Homo-oligomer: A and B are copies of this chain.
Amino acid sequence: MKRTMGPSEKLYPMPVPLIVGMADGAVDVLAAAWIGTVCGAPPTVAVGLRKVRRTLELIEASGELTINIPTTSMAAVVDYCGTVSGRTTDKFAATGLTLLLGEAVGTPIIEQCPYNLECRVSSAMDLGEYRVLLAEVVGTRADEAVLTPDGKLVDAGKLDPLVYIPGTREYRGLGPKVADAYSIGRTVG
């Protein structure tokens, strides 16, 4: 039996990366679950950020951002970055997160996150209290320790990405593999 629940922005599951912005020597970081891939060529991510966020100011000033995928062991740090403002606190000093120079952009990546996307803002629009950015991914980087043996792909089990569940507001990890994509569908029909 279906129950009517009203309008909601909840999707399942959600990623919850750390997003870094830097401009004029200032750098800040926030955690964002309102983000998703929207295009493969050019590789493009859409992210919605509240207009009051300081990290957004830095992103809009530089036209760049990095998206950094945290592990389950980073849940407390991610939660902290998502709930505290960089206007009043140095989040890097508080969390111990450290930065590495960007390669494809001038904005740094987070060393502790094993997968990193370097992005340039390609368009932006206002939506209520939010600013929706489309960002082209101009480079990615990964810890060698999370790659498949041939070094070509990320091994999701080794990556151990943090997962966000809205509503009940939980962080979770990934569960076991269920099936191979572009394959199991051949058993249907």
Return the CB mask of A32-49 against B: 1 if under 8 Å, else 0.
Answer: 011111111111111110
CB distance from A10 to the nearest CB of B (A): 7
Question: Could you tell me if A69 and B175 are in contact, using CB atoms closer than 8 angstroms?
Answer: no
Contact A181 B170 (CB under 8 A): yes
Task: Give the oligomeric copy count.
Answer: 2
In the bound complex, do residue B163 and residue A76 qualify as a contact, i.e. CB atoms below 8 Å apart?
A: no
A138 vs B5: C-alpha distance when bound (angstroms): 10
Residues 104 to 142 of chain A near chain B (Cβ within 8 Å): 104, 109, 115-117, 123, 125, 127-130, 132, 134, 136-142
User: Using Cβ atoms and an 8 Å threshold, which residues of chain B touch A1?
Assistant: 143-144
- Docked Cα-Cα span, A3 to B128, in Å, equals 39
Chain B residue numbers with a CB within 8 Å of A139 are 4-7
CB contacts (< 8 Å) of A134 on chain B: these are 127, 132
Residues of A in contact (CB 8 Å), total 108
Minimum distance in angstroms from A38 CB to a CB of chain B: 4
Which of B45, B109, B185 touches A9 (beta carbons < 8 Å)? B45
Report chain B residues within 8 Å CB of A11.
15, 17, 35-37, 45, 67, 69, 117
Name the contact of A12 in the complex, choosing from B144, B154, B176 (C-beta under 8 A): B154
Q: Is the CB of B38 within 8 A of A34?
A: yes
Q: Would you give the 0/1 interface string for A78-97, flagging 1 where the beta carbon is closer than 8 Å to chain B? A: 11111110000100001100
| In the complex, the 3 A-B pairs of residues with the closest C-beta atoms, listed nearest first | A36-B36, A79-B185, A173-B175
